[in-house]
């Protein structure tokens, strides 16, 4: 078993040792994790879903909580958040600050923050939350799209030049996939890591997707699923 995987399991076990809040170990409100490709509409879907279900959306808040727990500068924590490969760029910061922050401490703290917030309910956008909450009462969603179509959609919405957006989509998708692999040894291309994968290439509007996710998230939260698939239920 790799050192990284041992650290992940240890961090999860530490948080799981504290009894979750809510009835029968369920979170107080529904929990949804949304992993998304750049330009696929994942952020829009997360926002609309949060509005419909009156749930908090955890994106930048997760990063801020990680920085708070590590008692470190959010800008420094963001370097790790953007990719473990940037850890080598932090030697100068460590030299002058005397603080030692690296992939292991970031990973362990990220897991604890996500699991702690997960007890309250809400929507987690990115950061491998689907892997952290794989055994919890959460709906794990993957929103995908062909890079070329996503770039075309973004350009049509006035976000920039299509060619530049295509290059950005490929770079960001690669970085997100690499991050999840480095932290959790999980592949975003593995459909088994999600409860549902939605390709938005032919979706003109996302309301039908939101309607479906509202029903699925409510069903899981209320226990209207196969109990053997959810730990502790």
Into which CATH architecture does domain 29-220 fall?
Answer: 3-Layer(aba) Sandwich (3.40)
> CB 108: neighbour CB atoms within 10 A?
20
pTM for the full model? Answer: 0.75
Instruction: Using DSSP, state whether 227 is helix, strand or coil.
Output: helix
Give the C-alpha separation, 169 to 39, whole Å. Answer: 7
Tokens 């932090």, residue located = 90
For residue 111, give both structure tokens.
């897991």
Q: Are 69 and 113 in contact (CB under 8 A)?
A: yes
Binned at pLDDT 50, 70 and 90, residue 145 comes out as very high
Q: Dig out the tokens for 154 from the structure.
A: 């973004």
Domain spans of the chain?
29-220
pLDDT value for 83: 56
Give the span between the Cα atoms of 15 and 113, in whole angstroms.
Answer: 9
Residue 148 has pLDDT above 90, yes or no: yes
What DSSP state is assigned to residue 200? -
| Rounded average pLDDT over 46-64 | 89
What contacts 38, CB < 8 A, 6 or more positions away?
Answer: 147, 150, 168, 169, 172, 173
Pairing of strands 122-125, 139-144: unpaired
Angle between helices 3-16 and 162-184 (to 10 degrees): 80
The answer to whether the Cα torsion of 112, 101, 176, 51 is positive or negative is: positive
Rounded CA Rg of the chain: 18
pLDDT digits (tens, 9 = 90+) for 95-140: 444 455 566 777 888 888 888 888 889 999 988 899 999 888 899 9
DSSP-assigned beta bridge partners for residue 58 = 124
């Amino acid at each position: 078993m790799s050192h990284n995987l041992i650290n992940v399991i240890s961090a999860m076990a530490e948080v799981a040792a504290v009894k979750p809040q809510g009835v029968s170990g369920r979170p107080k409100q529904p929990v949804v994790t949304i992993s998304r490709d750049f330009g696929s509409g994942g952020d829009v879907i997360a926002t609309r879903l949060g509005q419909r279900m009156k749930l908090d959306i955890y994106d930048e808040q997760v990063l801020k909580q990680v920085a708070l727990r590590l008692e470190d500068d959010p800008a420094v924590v963001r370097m790790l958040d953007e990719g473990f490969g940037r850890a080598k760029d932090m030697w100068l910061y460590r030299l002058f600050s005397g603080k030692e922050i690296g992939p292991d401490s970031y990973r362990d703290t990220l897991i604890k923050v996500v699991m702690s917030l997960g007890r309250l309910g809400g929507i987690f956008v990115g950061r491998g939350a689907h892997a952290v909450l794989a055994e919890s009462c959460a709906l794990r969603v993957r929103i995908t799209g062909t890079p070329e179509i996503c770039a075309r959609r973004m350009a049509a919405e006035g976000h920039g030049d299509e060619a530049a957006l295509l290059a950005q989509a490929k770079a960001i998708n690669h970085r997100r996939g690499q991050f999840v692999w480095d932290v959790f040894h999980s592949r975003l291309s593995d459909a088994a890591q999600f409860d549902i994968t939605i390709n938005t290439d032919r979706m003109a509007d996302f309301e039908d997707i939101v309607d479906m996710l509202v029903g699925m998230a409510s069903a899981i939260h209320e226990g209207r699923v196969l109990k053997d698939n959810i730990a502790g239920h």
